[in-house]
Chains A and B, each alone.
Chain A
Amino acid sequence: MAKLNLKINGEVKEVDVDPSTPILWVLRDHLNLVGTKYGCGIAQCGACTVHLDGTATRSCMLTVSMVGNSEITTIEGLSENGDHPVQKAWLDVDVPQCGYCQAGQIMTAAALLDKNPNPSDEEIEMAMNGNICRCGTYLRIKKAVKIASENS
């Protein structure tokens, strides 16, 4: 265990954890930020997606020791009032069914649009393929990403 500082959602948080702890569990069990979800633990499902210096990253395999001074953004920190263009598009299109994968989908989409504001369908698919939706809302996810890209 070690006392370490992490930059999360614009704040510096001190945590007392083993440096090999994945950020996913630091968020969920130590910082009360449960928006980032556990789905598989091996970076295959995308439910744990956060931004690391703006890049979509699977936090289940991102250990504290890897983070250093980088900034982490979680779903809770994506916007002040849930009004990021991606979040608004998600509500506009009424994307979710069960909702469990959606924070990860939104984080991946937000990072994509940040780097590529006008992605083609193929580019959306490639970027989002790492995020499984068991309920099958893929068509609406894609539609919402396109609407968000028009509105940002």
Chain B
Amino acid sequence: MNQIDKHIGRRAFIRNTGLAGGGLIIGFSWLNSCKPKNISTEQALEMPKEWFEINAYIKIGDNGVATIFCPNPEFGQGVMTAMPMIVAEELDISWKDVLVKQAPFNTELYERQFTGGSQGIRRSWEGLRMAGATAKQMLKQAAAEAWQVPVSEILVSDGVLSHEATGKTAGFGEMAAAASNMEVPENVETKAVKDFKIISHSKKNVEGKQIVTGEPMFGLDYQYEGTLIAMVEHPPAFGLKLKSFDDSEVRNMPGIVDVFQINTYDDNFVRNFFDTNAFPDLVAIVGKTTWEVMNAKKKLKAEWEPITEKKLTFDRFGSISEVTVPSGLESTNKHNELMEKMASQPGEIARKDGDPESAFKNAAKVLERSYSCPFLAHNCMEPMNFFAHVTEEGIKLAGPSQAPSIIESTLASRLDVPAEKIEIEMTRMGGGFGRRAYGHYAIEAALISKQAKAPIKLVYSREDDMTFGIYRPSYQATYRAALDENNNLIAFHVKSGGVPESPLFANRFPAGAVDNYLAEQWVINSNITIGAFRAPRSNFTAGVEQAFLDEVAEAAGKDPIDFRLELLKRVKENPVGEENDYDPDRIAGVLKLVKEKSNWGQTPPGVHRGVSAYFCHNSYAAHVVDVVMDGDQPRVEKVTCAIDCGIVINPDAASLMAEGAIVDGIGNAMYGNMTFTDGKPDHSNFDTYKMIRQNEAPKEIEVHFVQNEIDPTGLGEPPFPPVFGALANALYKATGRRFTKQPFSTDKPPLVG
């Protein structure tokens, strides 16, 4: 058994008395209770007559049913099920007696309620275990006192306490009241991995029933009496801002209540990391129903004018920087021209090992390849939206956000309201992918509510959503490799950059494996806004690096997996440099597992295979992609995937995450493409922005997990980036041609004259 102890600190344990609702409530700094939510009556569980709050994560009913709160907001990654599983495991209750609820937003209680970076489980692992283990200890204490026996002799299993010598037993329900009065223990023991009964045993999505019956769950479904609908009009192009508007035709349209301008923040507002926003000046239309407001928006006349270059101040988690936003109306063909120009010039050196220049000069073979990718729109299925009700008393908000603490912070600053007066209800998100960490729409909703003096639901149309910005950047990379006469890789050079950020990771594989190594980067500034998109930067770099390694392996006459394993062996035994940002054994581990599970080397007839492996966001993933040809059209038939994310909390849900990442990767590699003409996004809806469909998804996906006892790491992002590389490598085998320009569906060979 393990002990988690004092790094939390005794001072964090406070004892509260006199809280409304009766019963003593014990609080950690993040374990205070809050108003309980309405118990859902559609649960099959019998509801208790009385609930006892053990801590902020757990309430136990007098009949032994427990409510476990999930602190993090859910966007399909499965935390609503996985986080309570961890608590339930250490509590040692039967999963069938667990009711799960979304916790309210309260970082004093729950410390970290951010969804993104694949960090949720990883960062909350110890805290969640502690919540369960502490509660179990308190229940044991209650039984020990009731039975007048030593607490060390109390056993717990599946919600039942027992004492062998006396034969006494009791369910959690019988001891809950007494347990809620116990001192919070200082040291608690947690289970050994081999004793897990819930963790690593698949459980179904706790909200499955609500989803398949259409229960209100999403921000767009939010209901509140007296709510008016609002929509906002933003400029049609990046590089433009609002000059004036004419609402004369709109004001008298059916259902319209008001039309006015809002300013989300002015140029002097110190923005935080997620306050990205190209369009702070908006026209807001407020009305009674969505359709009426949509119609009015179509009739709104607005005039736009070019922006002038401006400097904005960002406070990125304490680090203040100034960002210059250039003026101008940018186009994709110009971006591509500029990127090619930057690629041909020296970049900023990020890492240099040995003497790459000499190595390349003296090489037997030199390979070079350039790659590029376009901007991508996140295209969450649920468009951006948020509810806000601003009154004298404070601000009540509800809606889809990955980063409610950022919204609270920006809103407190913008509206000069103390954080304690801001309440945020986290609804289930219809997708996030990074987009919903940028909460401009919550600020807009609050500003509109304040002006309209009414509760407001702000709704973005699909067109509003797709053209607002905060895209995945456009990137370019040029790779070079040098082989000696024995086909050893003696030098490796990557130069990459993008509009408007570099995707380079200088210390990732194959850095550390090559004596002579050079990594350079460059940036082209832009007024098109960008933001985190599922595995930022990795989502380009993984694919192109893995495609290039394939080419190098081929030139060296080696099998692509063996080639990588050789290099990884070298990193393990004799690494170059000390800053190698990955565990070579674990990359090798997923490669070996995927090699075995895909029957690598025994490719079925008609199948063309590509492999890749990558480490990002703390986890390791490898894919083998099987492409077949339908006539002259390549199609992905099957993907075999191997993942090392440490302990897998909910295996079936984890497989589902990998499946989704694979489909998403294929879709974006093949089709995703946001382009611009004079600042205007060329696509605003799914009629022209192509999304992957049912018949384009692989027919089969197999996911395998490396079994180990390493503390769990994330899964939302890691399986996504390497898909692009494995796909490119499979397409090469299928067609004889290297696909280097994403989206691959438009990367056609030049016509032969």
Residues of chain B lying within 8 A (CB to CB) of residue A42:
462, 685-687
Complex: chain B residue closest to A96, CB-CB: B211
**Would B380 and A134 count as touching, CB distance under 8 A?**
yes
**Would A28 and B290 count as touching, CB distance under 8 A?**
yes
Residues of chain A lying within 8 A (CB to CB) of residue B694:
124-125, 128-129, 131, 133, 138, 141-142
**Would A76 and B659 count as touching, CB distance under 8 A?**
no
Residues of chain A lying within 8 A (CB to CB) of residue B380:
98, 100, 134
Complex: chain B residue closest to A104, CB-CB: B381
A136 to B254, CA, bound (A): 39
**Would A134 and B431 count as touching, CB distance under 8 A?**
yes
Residues of chain A lying within 8 A (CB to CB) of residue B383:
38-39
A40 to B380, CA, bound (A): 11
**Would B381 and A47 count as touching, CB distance under 8 A?**
yes
With known contacts A99-B428, A134-B379, A139–B659 Cβ distance under 8 A: yes
| Binary per-residue interface labels of chain A (21-52) against chain B in the complex, 1 for a CB within 8 Å, 0 otherwise | 11001001110111111111110110100000
B214 beta carbon closer than 8 Å to chain A: yes
**Would B462 and A139 count as touching, CB distance under 8 A?**
no
B448 beta carbon closer than 8 Å to chain A: no
**Would B204 and A91 count as touching, CB distance under 8 A?**
yes
B661 beta carbon closer than 8 Å to chain A: yes
B429 beta carbon closer than 8 Å to chain A: yes
A28 to B289, CA, bound (A): 9
| Binary per-residue interface labels of chain B (201-214) against chain A in the complex, 1 for a CB within 8 Å, 0 otherwise | 00011011101111
Residues of chain B lying within 8 A (CB to CB) of residue A44:
685-687
A43 to nearest B CB, angstroms?
Answer: 9
A11 to nearest B CB, angstroms?
Answer: 16
With known contacts A96-B205, A97-B78, A100-B382, A137–B213 Cβ distance under 8 A: no
Complex: chain B residue closest to A34, CB-CB: B221
B397 beta carbon closer than 8 Å to chain A: no
B423 beta carbon closer than 8 Å to chain A: no
The residue from A1, A90, A138 contacting B663, defined by CB atoms under 8 A apart: A138
A102 beta carbon closer than 8 Å to chain B: yes
Residues of chain B lying within 8 A (CB to CB) of residue A125:
694-695
The residue from A22, A34, A102 contacting B212, defined by CB atoms under 8 A apart: A102
Complex: chain A residue closest to B650, CB-CB: A94
B656 beta carbon closer than 8 Å to chain A: yes
With known contacts A35-B215, A99-B428, A100-B381, A132–B290 Cβ distance under 8 A: no
B700 beta carbon closer than 8 Å to chain A: yes
B328 to nearest A CB, angstroms?
Answer: 31
Complex: chain A residue closest to B688, CB-CB: A44
A135 beta carbon closer than 8 Å to chain B: yes
**Would B218 and A100 count as touching, CB distance under 8 A?**
yes
**Would B659 and A35 count as touching, CB distance under 8 A?**
no
B522 beta carbon closer than 8 Å to chain A: no
B354 beta carbon closer than 8 Å to chain A: no
The dominant DSSP class at the A interface is: loop
A139 to B660, CA, bound (A): 9
A146 to nearest B CB, angstroms?
Answer: 12
B728 beta carbon closer than 8 Å to chain A: no
A140 beta carbon closer than 8 Å to chain B: yes
With known contacts A40-B462, A44-B686, A134–B659 Cβ distance under 8 A: no
With known contacts A99-B428, A129-B693, A87–B212 Cβ distance under 8 A: yes
Give residues of chain B (648-672) contacting chain A, Cβ–Cβ below 8 Å: 652-653, 656-657, 659-664, 667
Give residues of chain B (356-413) contacting chain A, Cβ–Cβ below 8 Å: 379-383
Residues of chain B lying within 8 A (CB to CB) of residue A133:
381, 663, 694
| Binary per-residue interface labels of chain B (664-705) against chain A in the complex, 1 for a CB within 8 Å, 0 otherwise | 100100000000000000000111000111110111110000
Complex: chain B residue closest to A35, CB-CB: B214
**Would A22 and B291 count as touching, CB distance under 8 A?**
yes
**Would A98 and B212 count as touching, CB distance under 8 A?**
no
Complex: chain A residue closest to B660, CB-CB: A136
Residues of chain B lying within 8 A (CB to CB) of residue A36:
214
A74 beta carbon closer than 8 Å to chain B: yes
**Would A100 and B663 count as touching, CB distance under 8 A?**
no
A37 to nearest B CB, angstroms?
Answer: 7
Give residues of chain B (64-79) contacting chain A, Cβ–Cβ below 8 Å: 74-78
A82 beta carbon closer than 8 Å to chain B: yes
B223 beta carbon closer than 8 Å to chain A: yes
Please, how many residues of chain B have a CB less than 8 angstroms from a CB on the other chain?
A: 64
Give residues of chain B (684-731) contacting chain A, Cβ–Cβ below 8 Å: 685-687, 691-695, 697-701
Give residues of chain A (94-152) contacting chain B, Cβ–Cβ below 8 Å: 94, 96-103, 106, 121, 124-126, 128-129, 131-142
Give residues of chain B (423-438) contacting chain A, Cβ–Cβ below 8 Å: 428-433
With known contacts A34-B221, A42-B685, A135-B664, A90–B208 Cβ distance under 8 A: yes
Give residues of chain B (181-208) contacting chain A, Cβ–Cβ below 8 Å: 204-205, 207-208
B461 beta carbon closer than 8 Å to chain A: yes
A53 beta carbon closer than 8 Å to chain B: no
Residues of chain B lying within 8 A (CB to CB) of residue A136:
659-664, 667, 692, 697
Residues of chain A lying within 8 A (CB to CB) of residue B204:
91, 94
**Would B254 and A18 count as touching, CB distance under 8 A?**
yes
With known contacts A1-B254, A98-B431, A87–B213 Cβ distance under 8 A: yes
A109 to nearest B CB, angstroms?
Answer: 11
**Would A29 and B686 count as touching, CB distance under 8 A?**
no
A75 beta carbon closer than 8 Å to chain B: yes
Residues of chain B lying within 8 A (CB to CB) of residue A35:
213-216
**Would B205 and A74 count as touching, CB distance under 8 A?**
no
The residue from A87, A101, A126, A140 contacting B381, defined by CB atoms under 8 A apart: A101
B34 beta carbon closer than 8 Å to chain A: no
A136 to B723, CA, bound (A): 13
Give residues of chain A (37-96) contacting chain B, Cβ–Cβ below 8 Å: 37-42, 44-45, 47, 74-76, 78-79, 82, 87, 90-91, 94, 96
B144 beta carbon closer than 8 Å to chain A: no
Residues of chain B lying within 8 A (CB to CB) of residue A103:
211-212, 214
A33 to B214, CA, bound (A): 8
**Would A37 and B220 count as touching, CB distance under 8 A?**
yes
With known contacts A82-B209, A96-B76, A132-B686, A138–B218 Cβ distance under 8 A: no
**Would B214 and A34 count as touching, CB distance under 8 A?**
yes
The residue from B212, B218, B254, B697 contacting A96, defined by CB atoms under 8 A apart: B212
A94 to B74, CA, bound (A): 16
A38 to B205, CA, bound (A): 23
Complex: chain B residue closest to A130, CB-CB: B693
**Would B205 and A94 count as touching, CB distance under 8 A?**
yes
**Would B656 and A45 count as touching, CB distance under 8 A?**
no
Give residues of chain B (284-309) contacting chain A, Cβ–Cβ below 8 Å: 289-291, 294
**Would B211 and A140 count as touching, CB distance under 8 A?**
no
Residues of chain A lying within 8 A (CB to CB) of residue B428:
98-99
A92 to nearest B CB, angstroms?
Answer: 9
B523 beta carbon closer than 8 Å to chain A: no
| 15 cross-chain CB contacts under 8 A | A37-B382, A38-B383, A42-B687, A45-B691, A76-B214, A87-B212, A94-B208, A98-B75, A98-B382, A98-B432, A100-B382, A135-B381, A136-B659, A139-B698, A139-B701
A100-B431, A138-B693 provided; 14 other pairs, C-beta below 8 A? A34-B216, A35-B213, A39-B382, A44-B685, A94-B652, A97-B78, A98-B428, A98-B429, A99-B211, A100-B380, A101-B430, A132-B381, A134-B664, A139-B663
**Cβ-closest 5 pairs across A and B:** A35-B214, A136-B663, A100-B430, A97-B76, A98-B76
Residues of B within 8 A of A (CB): 74-78, 204-205, 207-209, 211-218, 220-221, 223, 229, 254, 289-291, 294, 379-383, 428-433, 461-462, 652-653, 656-657, 659-664, 667, 685-687, 691-695, 697-701
